[in-house]
A and B are shown apart, each in its own frame.
Chain A
Amino acid sequence: EPEVTQTPSHQVTQMGQEVILRCVPISNHLYFYWYRQILGQKVEFLVSFYNNEISEKSEIFDDQFSVERPDGSNFTLKIRSTKLEDSAMYFCASSGYEAFFGQGTRLTVV
């Protein structure tokens, strides 16, 4: 069974620090996504990535956020100058015919 792998599973960071969330998508997939879920709320779309560039981003995905695929296998989400309200579960997903989700990274900003 193919799987999407996310690291770390938990991250605690101080407000104002930069964090990088990592994902290894399924190797033959072409579309990659980041979603987030604030505690008690529904999952929200952040950004989609195709052909080594952003194909779509939400209003949430402002200049504080960036994504890249540095080495052809990893897919990263960088959050600069973290804020308390960035605390959430962040999910990576990749899709070919079906969508597969990682187990998520729980980010806590203190």
Chain B
Amino acid sequence: KNEVEQSPQNLTAQEGEFITINCSYSVGISALHWLQQHPGGGIVSLFMLSSGKKKHGRLIATINIQEKHSSLHITASHPRDSAVYICAPEGYGGATNKLIFGTGTLLAVQP
């Protein structure tokens, strides 16, 4: 079983749609990162969360530590949002500050 589960694995949306990507994990963590990876490979950090909710432009990330679940929302999606979105908990099991990466969600936003 994967330590970090993301859903959906693939998502196709029409421009303007509201998008939600979910992440669940199985043990305690100190923080959770949402990352974006474009074709060609570079990784960009979107959010780091340890509780509650954060917003940056059209992106919103939430985390429920008790339920071990986080979501990434994109409002008014645009084709330039097309990328792989990765959930990566930190401090997995309390003993480390490395990131454990989910398998990612491949998002395609069509015009």
Contacts and interface: CB of A to CB of B under 8 A. Distances in A.
B96 to A, nearest CB: 6
Nearest to B6: A42
B100 A31 contact: no
B94 to A, nearest CB: 13
A98 B103 CA distance: 21
Given A33-B98, A56-B96, A99-B33, A42 B103 contact: yes
Interface stretch (B18-26, B41-49, B64-72, B73-81): B41-49
A75 interface: no
Contacts of A43: 43, 86, 88, 99, 101
Interface in A45-64: 45, 48, 56
Interface string A55-97: 0100000000000000000000000000000000101010101
B72 to A, nearest CB: 16
Interface in B55-69: none
Contacts of A33: 98-99
Given A48-B97, A56-B96, A99 B102 contact: no
Nearest to B100: A45
A100 B41 contact: no
Lowest 5 CB-CB distances: which A-B pairs, in order?
A101-B43, A43-B101, A103-B42, A45-B98, A42-B103
Interface of A: 31, 33, 35, 37, 42-45, 48, 56, 89, 91, 93, 95, 97-101, 103-104, 106
Interface of B: 33, 35, 41-45, 48, 86, 88, 90, 96-104
